[in-house]
Amino acid sequence: MKKSLVLGLTLVLALAGAGLCLAAPIKIGLMAPVTGSWASEGEDMKNIVNLLAEEVNAQGGLLGQSVQVVLVDDAGDPRTASLAAQRLATQGIKAVVGTYGSSVTEASQGIYDENSILQIANGSTAIRLTEKGLKYFFRTCPRDDEQGRVAAQTIQKMGFKKVAILHDNTSYAKGLADEGNALLKKDGIEIVFFDALTPGERDFNAILTKLKAAKPDVVFFTGYFPELGLILRQKKEMNWPVPFIGGDATNNPDLVKIAGKDAAEGYYFLSPPVPQDLPYEKTKAFLKAYIAKHGAAPGSIWAVLAGDGFLTVTEAIKATKSTDPAKLAEFLHGGQHKISGLTGDISFNAKGDRVGEVYRVYRVDAEGNFVLQAK
């Protein structure tokens, strides 16, 4: 008796759901860390995608239908993310934008792929995500090995011949260090030092003394900003003028606070451009509208890349005149497209990785500002 009741109810709900789907606007999912430790990123992602959706609807929507963003919270947590993905999968959604953390994205990838839902991640840079051959997975952010490549290129372009590499044994920093090491060696550049520091320590004089003895032209640091700030400061106290170049984990204004302006001056780092430095007219207009609505510009590039994920989906729907995920994926994999996004033109390779360079070189000036360097 009870069983049949439950069955009946399920049937009714399912029919109601299907009915809603037919009549409803095109629904695009957004999976973002709205709560948890990355909540500030999630908040920006939500605001950006919603604002873009408003703009699309104001211009008449997609294929004559309006666009509706369905937000689910992944809380920056893989388990929450897999539940969120299952929830979206049961709502007749064809495409999902998100999410930020690599491990969080990884927990949801399989679910979307099984349900043939297009997923476009915005901040997940771990290499393996696109090495699994998933048909429906794309990302608008660069991969970690891309950063290594740009780093090696930049070091070469600056004319350094002897390079020291310092990491901190975290998987991100070690990966970037290994990548840079292999690429630089291949190009005939001598690696005179390759070692790791212990995160959380304060005294790096021993490491600096050893580094100095190796006589590098430049030091490539792949760790995070708190240690780097102390290193730059202690380097200054040693009167050692060697230039440092670092990865995007050192892109934080606190770096200058810790090191002091005079010690931080001249430090180079690679990072996707901060939103205010994006050169495109379209982006400037969008950021203006964003600031008018939310009072401040988005904090980082990753949220802007979620906006690009949304634009990718809407432009692909426009171009294929279809919401069939298989057709959309085929279109995006084809490489024949060029979607104009907030961070420049977007196109994808066969793996679903974004083609083109996102990383830029920044330099810290005498006032402690991060200044974008010409390419």
Partner 1 sequence: MEEFFQQLTNGLAVGGIYALIALGYTMVYGVLKLINFAHGDLFTLGAYLGLTLLTSLGLSGRLGPLLGLLLLAVLVMGFVALTGALLERAAYRPLRQSPRLSAVVSALGASIFLQNTIMLIYGARIHVYPQDILPKVAIEIGGLSIPLVRILVFVVSLLLMGALFLFIQRTRLGTAIRAAAIDQAAARLMGINVDQVILIVFLIGPGLGGVAGLLVGLYYGQVNFTMGWVYGLKAFTAAILGGIGNIPGAMVGGLILGVIEALGAAYISVAWKDAIAFFVLIVILIVRPTGLLGERVADKI
- Which residues lie near partner 1 (CB under 8 A)? 169, 195-198, 200-203, 205-207, 209-210, 213, 226, 229-230, 233-234, 237-239, 254, 257-258, 260
* Residue number with CB closer to partner 1 (30 or 230): 230
Are 336 and 167 in contact by the 8 Å Cβ rule? The answer is no
Q: How far is the CB of 149 from partner 1 (least distance, A)?
A: 25
* Residue number with CB closer to partner 1 (121 or 173): 173
For residue 143, count other CB atoms closer than 10 A to its CB. 22
Q: How far is the CB of 259 from partner 1 (least distance, A)?
A: 9
Are 163 and 185 in contact by the 8 Å Cβ rule? The answer is no
Distances (CA, A) of 121 to 12, 29, 143, 175, 288: 34, 12, 11, 21, 25
H or E stretch covering 363: strand 360-364
Q: How far is the CB of 182 from partner 1 (least distance, A)?
A: 19
Helix 301-320 to helix 39-58 angle (10° resolution) is 30
For residue 296, count other CB atoms closer than 10 A to its CB. 8
* Residue number with CB closer to partner 1 (225 or 286): 225
Q: How far is the CB of 36 from partner 1 (least distance, A)?
A: 15
Q: How far is the CB of 247 from partner 1 (least distance, A)?
A: 18
* Residue number with CB closer to partner 1 (159 or 200): 200
* Residue number with CB closer to partner 1 (262 or 324): 262
Q: How far is the CB of 253 from partner 1 (least distance, A)?
A: 11
* Residue number with CB closer to partner 1 (201 or 324): 201
Where do the DSSP E strands lie in 186-279? 190-196, 218-221, 244-246, 268-271
H or E stretch covering 72: strand 67-73
